[in-house]
Amino acid sequence: MMKYRQCAKINLGLKIVNKREDGYHNLKSVFIPVGIYDKLIFKRAKKNIIVKCKGIKQEDNLIYKTARLLKEERSVLRGVKIIVKKKIPFAAGLGGGSADAAATIKMLNEFWETGLNEEDMYEFASKIGSDVPFFIYNKTAVVEGRGEIVKPIDTKISFYVIIIKPSFGLETKKIYQNFSFKSGQENNIERVIQGVKEQNFDMISKNIVNDLESGVLYDANKYNCIVNMKKDLLESGAIASLMSGSGSCTFGIYPTKKAAKNAKKQLIKKKYKRHQIYIAEAGKGIFE
């Protein structure tokens, strides 16, 4: 038996560069790992792949699809039973599914002795999904293309976040379909990247924009909820607030754990439930 804790991510800014001929979009974003974890347990099985994860059918689970493809490509004869204990919320913009797929690649490479090096795992991850390659590295990085181009940033930046998960999720496909370049927001993602490298929170807070927030406008109630969450986080003392990825989670940045804890108390008094609020470290010191 083998165990692994896999962290989530947030997007410190996200710029949509253009729409590709294949219908997808090229993006540029800063991905930073955050200390919210799923726990994956790998057990021996004779031939079959069995994935147990509450709330997701096995055939729909990216973990199952990843394991099945790896088994086929590497001609593995053994099976595996994977038990997943979810802490990263679904449909949240935190990369939970992609993170677990990357963890599956890394752990099955060892469990099944498939002999993949890091570059091999990265290339295999690109076949699974857009954000999966990032989680092979699990380090703060500039991510481009569809998410398959990962350029780690040499930085020691570290801070705390409060992440709020609303009662609804958002479908990535739908957000991209409704995204508009006419949002009116100037996106200075290069300044955000510079701010991360220099650990300059003032530069980050003045420039972070997520272009995909405009993709939520198809549903006025959900869009207003995102706007209000950002406002409440800022009022609680966050130095910046943004929707992560394609949503629906929204996060606020705090310089210390104490500041984040105080903010959580304010948010609970205001209207939010405890189970909606996550406090996590972002950046260094959280990798497994």
Which are the catalytic amino acids?
9, 131
β-strand pairing of 25-45 with 141-145: antiparallel
**What is the distance between the alpha carbons of residues 253 and 75, in angstroms, rounded to a whole number?**
45
